[in-house]
């Protein structure tokens, strides 16, 4: 079961989408999510555009390479041995920001070990359990509850031994010119 989430700078889950089967990739889940529709329709986000390198840049989400590049979702450039320095800088800046997301998931799995190891409950209860864990995680973050370092280390060992599904590459063939223009503005800025 996949948990697609939007995380803020304090590692709090501010949007969650739980319940898609594990064989679905993140991009397909995002494309059909209410989060994408809200980003496209929200007038506040349209008002918050900023000029970067003479390009109007809207509020954006950060994703990994599994996602489809979109006006509201930035992803890194594909790995290339001789990648230009400016693209490397962009990928580095993006990955630094995305670490917050990875930390939030790591903290969630460390606090609630059943989420990290896999739930052995009935599937009908799994969604509610994951949602409750996200809410409790946010509450504990607000209360500045510390996460035991041993729990994090144990979860990292568990993650290394787990076999993860392969991300399906995005082979849609649709090139989003506006999204690439926005990404290029960031590249110029960095």
Task: Give residue limits of the domains in the chain.
Answer: 2-189
Rounded mean pLDDT of 102-112? 89
For residues 53 and 152, which has the higher predicted lDDT (pLDDT)?
Answer: 53
pLDDT band at 43 (very low <50, low <70, confident <90, very high): confident
Asked whether residue 164 carries a pLDDT value surpassing 60, the answer given is no
- The per-residue pLDDT for 116 is 64
Taking the C-alpha atoms of residue 159 and residue 105, their distance in angstroms, rounded to an integer, is 11
User: What percent of the chain has a predicted confidence (pLDDT) above 90?
Assistant: 34
For residues 42 and 158, which has the higher predicted lDDT (pLDDT)?
Answer: 42
The token pair that represents 90 in the structure block: 């962009």
Asked whether residue 12 carries a pLDDT value surpassing 90, the answer given is yes
Measure Cα distances from 57 to 34, 41, 52, 90 in Å: 22, 16, 7, 15
Taking the C-alpha atoms of residue 147 and residue 150, their distance in angstroms, rounded to an integer, is 9
Task: List the Cα angle 23/24/27 in 5-degree steps.
Answer: 145
Q: What are phi and psi of 80, to 5 degrees?
A: -145, 135
- The per-residue pLDDT for 16 is 94
User: What percent of the chain has a predicted confidence (pLDDT) above 70?
Assistant: 88
Asked whether residue 107 carries a pLDDT value surpassing 60, the answer given is yes
**Chain segment 13-27, per-residue pLDDT in tens:** 999 998 887 778 888
Asked whether residue 167 carries a pLDDT value surpassing 60, the answer given is no
The token pair that represents 55 in the structure block: 């390009």
- The per-residue pLDDT for 170 is 47
The rounded mean pLDDT for the chain is 84
Asked whether residue 99 carries a pLDDT value surpassing 60, the answer given is yes
- The per-residue pLDDT for 166 is 54
- pTM, entire model: 0.78
* Three-state DSSP string of 32-100: CCHHHHHHHHCHHHHHCCEEECCEEECCCEECCCCCCCECCEECCCCCCCCCCHHHHHHHHHHHHHHHH
- The per-residue pLDDT for 94 is 92
pLDDT band at 81 (very low <50, low <70, confident <90, very high): confident
């Amino acid at each position: 079961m996949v948990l697609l989430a939007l995380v803020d700078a304090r590692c709090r889950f501010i949007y969650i989408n739980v319940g898609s089967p594990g064989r679905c990739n993140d991009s397909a889940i995002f494309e059909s999510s209410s989060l994408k529709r809200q980003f496209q329709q929200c007038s506040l986000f349209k008002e918050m555009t900023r000029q970067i390198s003479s390009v109007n840049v809207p509020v954006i989400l950060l994703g990994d390479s599994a996602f489809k590049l979109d006006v509201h979702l930035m992803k890194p450039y594909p790995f290339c041995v001789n990648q230009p320095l400016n693209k490397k800088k962009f990928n580095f800046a993006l990955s630094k920001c995305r670490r917050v997301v990875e930390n939030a998931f790591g903290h969630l799995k460390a606090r609630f070990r059943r989420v990290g190891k896999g739930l052995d409950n009935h599937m009908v209860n799994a969604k509610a359990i994951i949602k409750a864990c996200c809410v409790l995680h946010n509450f504990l973050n607000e209360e500045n509850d510390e996460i035991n370092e041993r729990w994090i280390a144990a979860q990292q060992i568990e993650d290394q031994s787990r076999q993860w599904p392969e991300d399906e590459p995005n082979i849609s063939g649709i090139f989003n010119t506006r999204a690439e223009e926005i990404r290029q503005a960031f590249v110029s800025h960095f």
